[in-house]
Structure 1
Amino acid sequence: MSKNKPIQVFEYQKLKIGQDGFTETHFQSLVLFNEKNSNKYFTAVHKGILFNCYVGVIQIGGLTIEILPKADSNDNKLIWRDVLLHMLKECKLIQVDNVSETHLKKKYNSVLEAYYDIYLNEIEYLIKRGLIKKYRKNQSNQLSLKGKLLFSQNIQKNLVHKERFYCSHQVYDRNNLIHQILLEGLSVLQHLETRGFTDRINRIMLEFDKIDKVKITPRHFAKIQTNRKTKPYTNAIQIARMLILNYSPNISSGNENMLTLLFDMNKLWEEYIFRILHKYKPATYKVSYQNSDNFWENKRIKPDILLTKEDGENFIIDTKWKITTSNKPSDEDLKQMFVYNLHWESPKSMLLYPQIDQKDSEFGNYKFKYNDRINQCKLGFVSILDSGRIKKGKQLCDEILSKIQ
């Protein structure tokens, strides 16, 4: 495993050329990658990069950059990397169910190394089980008639060699789409500078020597059908998809290969809060995520989280991953939450922010009543950390539910 430590920065922080091995070549590769993605991941500044709400990891050649979330005064980057891994695991964006979080903290230098190691573990497990075989059609020259003779192709290819037959026949072997995808994922790792994994990758590749090399695209993943034989491949295919679809080989002449794994922290926070509530809520609550509904013409409205008690009463939670010093909702947020309250007949709504040292606001009343119902809104704050450790999910869930009572 690579001993090179990644560059670690926080969201909305700058990374300058010359800092911790970040070179002009790395800078140019990032700028070109960002331009190809509508400049959404960061901003190019004078001799550097200014990151925004996207967190995750970027590998350019042998350099790894981790962009970490940060929502309080704690500057311990190891803690915030563990927070990121924890949130990705809860949201099923990293398949590490068979690896403990303590193991993750001790073993890996970066988030990407976790993916690499788990991917190789999964393939080694599949090899020990025995790689599955499938039937496929094969068209080739044969010394004896096998299957169906293709007359026109036989005339074209065997005009001189009368002893050969160009046939179409079925073959039962390992050369199928699933193994072609896994092979492409291994090829991505070979092209990246994953020095600590080189021997394992080369050893595993020997098991795929008779698998065709195919340029894998998103449509190939749509063709995979899950059944009893392919179910053990699920985790490996998911990680292969991440590796293949996020890999940018030589995105411009002279630049290095790049792999990116970036997440919008606003969306990650939103899904994380939903999954915590869904996992730990009492039986008296029902939790639904992004309940989209018609609003006006072809426009729709979609609150982040809708809580419903067993008596049918609704509560709205809208998550915000940003630091606010105000103790009152903005005018824009108030209007948005008011619409949610009316549309879903919810008496209360809450804007939920990460906590530094803020205190919840009191529920404020909207002056306009609907069906003689008082509608209310407040700001709520929760911390994902407790004394420098990741807060237990049940504790976090209970804190959130207590805020809407």
Structure 2
Amino acid sequence: MSKLNALHNDCYFDLRYNGVKFKNYVGVFQVDDLTIEILPKIDSQEKDKKLWHDVLISMLKVTKKLNVQKVGNANVSKQNLHLLDIYFDWFLDEVEKLIHLGLIKQYNRETGNVKALKGKLEFAGHLRKNLIHKERFYTTHQVYNKDHLIHQILGYALAIIENFSKGSSIYSRCKSVQLDFPEVKQVSIDHRTFSRLKLNRKTSAYKTALEIARFIILQYAPNIKHGQESMIALLFDMNSLWEEFILNRIKYSARKSEDHIEVYGQRSKRFWQNVTIRPDIVVRKNEKITIIDTKWKNIGSSKPSTQDLRQMFVYNEYWDSSESILLYPTPDQSNAPNFSSYKNIEHSCGIGKLNIINDGKLNLEVGNEIIDWIKDR
């Protein structure tokens, strides 16, 4: 765990004596057969583990980081099903669909000894390898088969799932998929490998499978080992997830609203030289602009930090906004923003507290509440 954290600039957690203090990342990571799930929480009630497990899955679904329909709601509702299992199930679904449709073949270059001269003769290799075997030719030639980069990526992801799902139902399903999957060469895969992929009309069906494979492979840490143990981590920055969720819900509510409301996310303006500033969400209703900055923490009765207030002041100035909102989650009833004006300045900043739980599940109508806050001003 220490090596994994160091590899990512110690952003996941702090290691303490006989303990771990997690930071603002949520998700799951597995070391050998030990699986640790980190859930988002804004209260201290231990009894709400399943609630926050479901909240995390729902947030990932809304922000398109997870397609729960591909896995099936019956599987997602199981309390003992980890986020890692959901991604594995989703990937296996996609690969099974590709096998059913028919896996594509591609031309690729192959270098080696053949019994007939074809392609380009590699003289140096031919002299080195075939000094005795005069009947062979060492050539580089094109072959048309299923052993190409796309299938090598999918095969690598299947091998990771096989390694991390032993002893579960996913393991037997993975082995079954591997039997129907063609044998491909084992290659080294990193983020540069995915940048070389160019999908076309023929390979467009592979898009979703490759996106999940990218997520699984790049989070796999085969170089971090203790003995024979390897590690995989699927972790999300909760601040970013909270921001994307709120942006998605406000956009959804704005589209249904009869008022003309425009919603933008992460719009940049130059601040100083090449430095830019970007508020999380900008809402425009007619000529009125409201800036929203999301913070995933239970602020309670505390005041926002001076740095946050200064940040909102700058946003108001640069976007000609009359008001801005610091938006926090709360385990209690939602509270509309309580605005306070900056001294001798026309614009103001409010603290909004939003309860995202309704009837024991994630409240998908929070966008309506925020739109109502803005319309009532």
Q: Tell me which of 96, 105, 109 is aligned to 1:133.
A: 105
- How far 1:117 moved relative to its partner? 1.1
- How far 1:250 moved relative to its partner? 6.0
Counterpart for residue 27 of structure 2: 56
Instruction: Give the TM-score taking structure 1 as reference length.
Output: 0.85
Counterpart for residue 290 of structure 1: 266
Contact 1:361/1:379, CA 8 A, preserved across alignment: yes
How has the CA–CA distance of structure 1 residues 141 and 368 changed in structure 2, closer, same or farther, with 3 Å as cutoff?
A: same
- How far 1:61 moved relative to its partner? 1.2
- How far 1:168 moved relative to its partner? 2.4
How has the CA–CA distance of structure 1 residues 322 and 153 changed in structure 2, closer, same or farther, with 3 Å as cutoff?
A: same
Contact 1:290/1:302, CA 8 A, preserved across alignment: yes
Unmatched 5+ stretches in structure 2? none
Letter in 2 for 1:218: H
- How far 1:322 moved relative to its partner? 0.5
Does residue 321 (structure 1) correspond to residue 259 (structure 2)? The answer is: no
Q: After superposition, give the CA deviation of every residue in 1:87-132 in whole Å (9 maximum; x if it has no partner).
A: 1111222233434546411386111110111111111111111111
Does residue 171 (structure 1) correspond to residue 143 (structure 2)? The answer is: yes
Does residue 201 (structure 1) correspond to residue 174 (structure 2)? The answer is: yes
Contact 2:254/2:261, CA 8 A, preserved across alignment: yes
Counterpart for residue 259 of structure 1: 232
Counterpart for residue 397 of structure 1: 367
Distance (whole Å) between structure 2 residues aligned to residue 102 and residue 157 of structure 1: 58
Counterpart for residue 145 of structure 1: 117
Distance (whole Å) between structure 1 residues aligned to residue 193 and residue 275 of structure 2: 33
Distance (whole Å) between structure 2 residues aligned to residue 256 and residue 159 of structure 1: 45
Counterpart for residue 333 of structure 1: 308
Counterpart for residue 162 of structure 2: 190
Deviates more, 1:168-177 or 1:318-327: 318-327
Q: Per the alignment, in what secondary structure is the counterpart of residue 56 of structure 1?
A: strand
Counterpart for residue 243 of structure 2: 270
Counterpart for residue 89 of structure 1: 61
Counterpart for residue 35 of structure 1: 6
Distance (whole Å) between structure 2 residues aligned to residue 214 and residue 93 of structure 1: 27
Counterpart for residue 228 of structure 1: 201
Distance (whole Å) between structure 2 residues aligned to residue 330 and residue 161 of structure 1: 78
How has the CA–CA distance of structure 1 residues 149 and 135 changed in structure 2, closer, same or farther, with 3 Å as cutoff?
A: same
Letter in 2 for 1:104: V
Contact 2:146/2:182, CA 8 A, preserved across alignment: no
1:344-355 alignment runs, 5 A limit: 344-355=319-330
Q: After superposition, give the CA deviation of every residue in 1:365-386 in whole Å (9 maximum; x if it has no partner).
A: 22334xxxx3121111111111
Deviates more, 1:72-81 or 1:184-193: 72-81
Letter in 2 for 1:260: A
Q: Per the alignment, in what secondary structure is the counterpart of residue 216 of structure 1?
A: coil
Contact 1:108/1:114, CA 8 A, preserved across alignment: no
Distance (whole Å) between structure 2 residues aligned to residue 137 and residue 184 of structure 1: 20
Letter in 2 for 1:297: Q
Counterpart for residue 375 of structure 1: 347
Q: Per the alignment, in what secondary structure is the counterpart of residue 35 of structure 2?
A: strand
- How far 1:302 moved relative to its partner? 1.3
Counterpart for residue 238 of structure 1: 211
How has the CA–CA distance of structure 1 residues 99 and 184 changed in structure 2, closer, same or farther, with 3 Å as cutoff?
A: closer
Q: After superposition, give the CA deviation of every residue in 1:333-382 in whole Å (9 maximum; x if it has no partner).
A: 2221111111000111101110223633432222334xxxx312111111
Q: Per the alignment, in what secondary structure is the counterpart of residue 224 of structure 2?
A: coil
Contact 1:73/1:356, CA 8 A, preserved across alignment: no
Distance (whole Å) between structure 2 residues aligned to residue 300 and residue 307 of structure 1: 19
Unmatched 5+ stretches in structure 1? 1-29
Distance (whole Å) between structure 2 residues aligned to residue 163 and residue 100 of structure 1: 57
Does residue 160 (structure 1) correspond to residue 136 (structure 2)? The answer is: no
Does residue 119 (structure 1) correspond to residue 130 (structure 2)? The answer is: no
Deviates more, 1:336-345 or 1:99-108: 99-108
Contact 2:108/2:144, CA 8 A, preserved across alignment: yes
Contact 1:313/1:346, CA 8 A, preserved across alignment: yes
Q: Per the alignment, in what secondary structure is the counterpart of residue 183 of structure 1?
A: helix
Contact 1:250/1:256, CA 8 A, preserved across alignment: no
Deviates more, 1:102-111 or 1:134-143: 102-111
Q: Per the alignment, in what secondary structure is the counterpart of residue 125 of structure 2?
A: helix
Does residue 98 (structure 1) correspond to residue 73 (structure 2)? The answer is: no
Q: Per the alignment, in what secondary structure is the counterpart of residue 131 of structure 2?
A: coil
Does residue 44 (structure 1) correspond to residue 19 (structure 2)? The answer is: no
Distance (whole Å) between structure 2 residues aligned to residue 250 and residue 294 of structure 1: 40
Letter in 2 for 1:239: I
Q: Per the alignment, in what secondary structure is the counterpart of residue 363 of structure 1?
A: strand
- How far 1:209 moved relative to its partner? 4.7
Letter in 1 for 2:338: E
- How far 1:280 moved relative to its partner? 2.8
How has the CA–CA distance of structure 1 residues 288 and 138 changed in structure 2, closer, same or farther, with 3 Å as cutoff?
A: same
Q: Per the alignment, in what secondary structure is the counterpart of residue 404 of structure 1?
A: helix
Identical residues among aligned pairs (%): 43
